[in-house]
Structure 1
Amino acid sequence: MTEENRNEVTEEEAVEAAKEQVQVDTPDDTTAQDVFAENEKQQVQPAVEIDDAASGESMSDVMRDVDDITPGDLVKGEVLTIDNDKQVIVGLEGGQEGVIPPRELSTERFDKPSDVVSIGETIDVVVLRDVKDKEQGSFILSKKRVDQRKVWEELQQKYDNNEVIEATVSRVVKGGLTIDLGVRGFVPASQIDTHFVSDLNQFEGNTYNFKIIEIDPKERQLILSRKVLLEKERAAEREEALEKLEEGSVVEGEVVRLTNFGAFVNVGGVDGLVHISEIAHERIASPKDKLSKGDKVEVKVLKVDKEQERVSLSIKETLPGPWDNIEEELPAGSVTKGTVKRVTDFGAFVEVKPGVEGLVHISEMAHKHVETPHEVVAKDEELDVKVLSVKPDEERISLSIKALKENPNESADTEKPKAAPKKKAEDKPEIKQPALRDEDDEGAFTLGDQIGDQLSGFMDEDDEE
């Protein structure tokens, strides 16, 4: 085809152009055929521009290229107008138009479209679908989804760089919180704090730092955590606190948790354990008997294990000792009340003041013989005892129950009648033993004589038989 032929307009294109000319500066009764005939007579070419690059294409080919916009395409457009202050009309390439519904305008809340875009502004939009039967435009467009694509790209970059994100909690939902970062993010309840939180409403509307722990732009999934940042902060605080703590020092702390075996007290960012035996000088059944969560207490640092990050603390070491001035409070011979704390085979331990227990030996329980202490006392029984001796250095005190009771044996002895006094030896009458032989009588017999005669009689009887 020659250059001349390439620049000529086909008959169909000329007719189409004539139809358009009918509507511009022509009388009402003028038809397209009249315009075409007049153009032919005057050898006037219709006003159809043909680009050199497209000189080999027909007008219909050019128009097809312009119409080649399909859903999913990312295109640029100019804001032409805002229809009824709701929809945004956007001019696209090739003279086509599209509409941005309010819900597709922005990822953020707005009162009116003019808060987001301005007339004449060039914006990036994505084609959602084709609606050529609509008078408002040929396509439904979305600016919000283009912005979301950019947001996902930025979030992916932050995730790759391990960056921290600041965001405001928008809503409390089942199982966690939602935040708005241009796209919806979710914070599971387990990732809100380092400990379990029952009421999530306290977080709504507040701004916190978060870290992305899972991201999938294709699935529009964004999971964030506040817990990992808190754990990192507290780990740094613990390390610093462990360096500052010195064994033997006394510091102030706060009770953060109570267990059956003791209490955890936070001292400068690290939690230390106060064992139940180190809470008070006296024996206690539960840490709750002496402490409550949130109490401010002074503690003594017993041991610091930096490798295991363990700290042993004591409260009772900061309190006055129960044995201090015990000799003045409970001197030997004094009587006091006490509570039986333990009963053993050899006696009972009685608490006479907090932290001070004395022994009532089994021999000091009663004036009568006691087989077992359980016959006399029982655990938790309150009774009066007498202090026998006090040894503060050894932290021992001896007590007695029977010393406060009357001895029945002594009472019986006092009531018994007195025996008559014995007569002296010289007052006794002389009892004269019968003499077997009178000293003056030669015919008197002796004991041997009597026995010998009797024996002779026995022998004579035997001979007669």
Structure 2
Amino acid sequence: MSQNLKFGTQEDLEEILAAQGECSPDFRKANADVYAGMGCLEQGKLVTGKISQVNDQEVLVDVNYKSEGVIDRAEFKDTDSLELGSEIEVFVEKLEDEDGRLILSKQKADFVRVWDRIHAAFENNEVVRGTLTKRIKGGVVVDLFGIDAFLPGSQIDLRQIPDINALIGQEFDLKVIKVNKARRNIVVSRRVVLEEERNKQRGDVLETLEKNQVRKGIVKNITDFGAFIDLGGVDGLLHITDMSYKRINHPSEMLQLGQEVEVMVLDFNDKKERISLGMKQLKPHPWKDIAERYPEGAIVKGKVVSITDYGAFVELDSGVEGLIHVSEMSWTQHVKHPSKILTVGQEVEAVVLKVEEDAERISLGMKQLESDPWDSIETELPPGARVVGEIRNIASFGAFVEIKEGVDGLIHVSDMSWTKKITHPNEMVKKGDKVECVVLAVDKEKRRISLSMKHLTEDPWDSIDSTYPVDSEVKGKIVRMLDRGVVVELADGIEGFIPVSKLTAEYIKVPADAFKVGDEVPAVVTEIDQNNRKIYLSVVDYFKNRESAELKAWMDSHKPGENGTTIGEAVAPKKKASKKKAEKSEEAEA
């Protein structure tokens, strides 16, 4: 048969193809001279053809077959290069589909053409160049020799890439790490290339690493306490305190992942496994000659960067902060917390009070920008001056009165009344009350002013002898009951003491047997102790010169037990105290 396979014309060849359907090896060998012009197609092979037609969905290619081949237009990356008559290499995918069409593939042809080159790179661990074309789920598509390869996200870099889209369109060195011809699957890695480069650089870095050396590095990782810097295969720690002389709350305020920075090698261990780096050391120390730049008394401006319970820190310059203590914020306001008058970020003006260069401290004051109201306090408020103020606060020992803005005086509880026995200031005044008082004394150094309410009037005890002479008759109201007698309030708030034996001619053990608080009693002044501010009275002496009927009426109205209080009830609370101690207590209270 082989002798009869030779045909001299193209027409003869077409007839045989039509009859036989496929080209046998013997047929192709015998007709090699015309096969080159006609071509005999085999599924899965590469052939060359010419573009004959282009539309929106398909590209038709003439490959000298009984019909033109069809290629999906989406297989052409650069559709602008589709020119009629141009030659392209295609892959025979199907000789006939269900519609009898010849199906060709441009992408498979590209894959087959470069497969040997890619496989060789995989086998020999060679570095190849590829361009990142688009991002997909899990990674990036790479144009490798004109075909698509897959670059997983984990293989793009040594560290996490914050914005992978920024790499699209860039060309990188890659290594083929996985191939599958049947699935046309090619996986590449950039990380492998970078790791090899880093290992090589690591050795170079460790050999040349020295203290105080300035190097460039890439920010590899950021934590709360600092950042790790890749010096080229070797990581060093840039602590937050070594980033800047100024206060920073988090390293991310100064650094970003992937940022290139210049650092100084501060220290490292023997094996150079732990390397300490610094950035602020590359700049002059901001506290050098600080006293010359910020002399005491100078007025400066700055921004509040931090507030604590005891004051506010103000940034005067990069790395230079001063403290305004809470006590230096106002002459007049009672500042309980700095946040009441200052906020973080606020621009403030202050006076330099003290500079400690070695300790890196600057003390600032705000109130020094205004005049001190205490400077002229002695001339404004001399002793004896009458003032009106508002009760700002009350304590157990007295009341604080604001007599001018930022200036308070104290009315001690003992200076509230000449005559009344006051146990707590709220018996006389309340917070917010407007009161008139007299200045007793001014202590400018200790910033204290003593005030008095009782000195607004004359002391009634100065004229007590003429007001209540001995043997004069008085009337008063019982205000306190004691075991040894009663305390009676007379006019003008003066109090007198009536012993129990002078209350009634009848025997009573305690005053509560026959009397109660609020009872009005007549009495005679029997004794005046002006030094101890005491007046002794007697009801019994009052009735000595009275008619017997009047005395009898008094006695009948104050019989033991008739006031509703039994003797036992009246004396029970006092039974535990000794008699001697009780007597002393009664006399002192009277």
AA of the residue aligned to 1:323: W
How many residue pairs get aligned? The number is: 315
Corresponding residue for 1:402?
367
AA of the residue aligned to 2:376: S
Equivalent residue runs for 1:223-302 within 5 Å: 223-253=187-217, 262=226, 265-268=229-232, 270=234, 272-285=236-249, 287=251, 290=254, 297-302=261-266
> 1:284 and 1:249, CA in 2 relative to 1: closer, same or farther beyond 3 A?
same
Displacement of 1:247 after TM fit? 2.9
1:213 correspondence with 2:166: no
1:335 correspondence with 2:277: no
CA contact (8 A) 2:218 2:258 kept: yes
Corresponding residue for 2:34?
81
CA contact (8 A) 2:43 2:95 kept: no
Displacement of 1:332 after TM fit? 2.0
> 1:217 and 1:70, CA in 2 relative to 1: closer, same or farther beyond 3 A?
farther
Q: Which has the higher strand share?
A: 2
Corresponding residue for 1:163?
125
Normalising to structure 2: TM-score of the pair? 0.42
> 1:172 and 1:102, CA in 2 relative to 1: closer, same or farther beyond 3 A?
farther
The secondary structure found in structure 2 opposite 1:243 is helix
Corresponding residue for 1:35?
none
CA contact (8 A) 1:335 1:386 kept: yes
Q: Alignment partner for residue 104 of structure 1, among 28, 41, 46? A: 46
- In 2, the alpha carbon distance for the partners of 1:400 and 1:218 equals 81
Displacement of 1:405 after TM fit? 2.8
- In 1, the alpha carbon distance for the partners of 2:93 and 2:144 equals 23
Q: Alignment partner for residue 202 of structure 1, among 145, 169, 172? A: 169
- In 2, the alpha carbon distance for the partners of 1:148 and 1:412 equals 98
AA of the residue aligned to 2:165: S
Displacement of 1:307 after TM fit? 7.0
- In 1, the alpha carbon distance for the partners of 2:25 and 2:321 equals 86
Displacement of 1:290 after TM fit? 4.8
Displacement of 1:348 after TM fit? 3.4
Gaps of 5+ in 1: 1-12, 21-66, 89-97, 115-126, 132-143, 420-457
Displacement of 1:242 after TM fit? 3.5
AA of the residue aligned to 2:342: A
1:187 correspondence with 2:150: yes
> Residues 288-346 of structure 1, C-alpha deviation per residue, up to 9 Å, x if partnerless?
65567887654211244697966432111111112111111112222222333333333
Q: Alignment partner for residue 385 of structure 1, among 336, 350, 360? A: 350
Displacement of 1:223 after TM fit? 2.6
Identity %: 32
The secondary structure found in structure 2 opposite 1:390 is strand
AA of the residue aligned to 2:46: E
CA contact (8 A) 1:274 1:314 kept: yes
Displacement of 1:392 after TM fit? 0.7
The secondary structure found in structure 2 opposite 1:229 is helix
Corresponding residue for 1:351?
315
> 1:292 and 1:113, CA in 2 relative to 1: closer, same or farther beyond 3 A?
same
AA of the residue aligned to 1:350: V
Displacement of 1:222 after TM fit? 3.4
The secondary structure found in structure 2 opposite 1:80 is helix
Gaps of 5+ in 2: 5-19, 52-60, 65-91, 97-106, 385-540, 545-590
AA of the residue aligned to 2:47: L
1:364 correspondence with 2:331: no
- In 2, the alpha carbon distance for the partners of 1:415 and 1:77 equals 132
- In 1, the alpha carbon distance for the partners of 2:32 and 2:177 equals 38
Displacement of 1:277 after TM fit? 3.0
> 1:301 and 1:415, CA in 2 relative to 1: closer, same or farther beyond 3 A?
same
> 1:224 and 1:361, CA in 2 relative to 1: closer, same or farther beyond 3 A?
closer
- In 1, the alpha carbon distance for the partners of 2:382 and 2:368 equals 27
- Point out which structure has higher relative CO (alpha carbons under 8 A, 6+ apart): 1
Equivalent residue runs for 1:45-124 within 5 Å: 79-81=32-34, 87-88=38-39, 98-99=40-41, 104-105=46-47
CA contact (8 A) 1:388 1:399 kept: yes
CA contact (8 A) 2:219 2:256 kept: yes
- In 1, the alpha carbon distance for the partners of 2:188 and 2:30 equals 35
> 1:218 and 1:283, CA in 2 relative to 1: closer, same or farther beyond 3 A?
same
The secondary structure found in structure 2 opposite 1:202 is coil
- In 2, the alpha carbon distance for the partners of 1:77 and 1:180 equals 40
- In 2, the alpha carbon distance for the partners of 1:314 and 1:147 equals 52
CA contact (8 A) 2:111 2:184 kept: no
AA of the residue aligned to 1:410: D
Normalising to structure 1: TM-score of the pair? 0.51
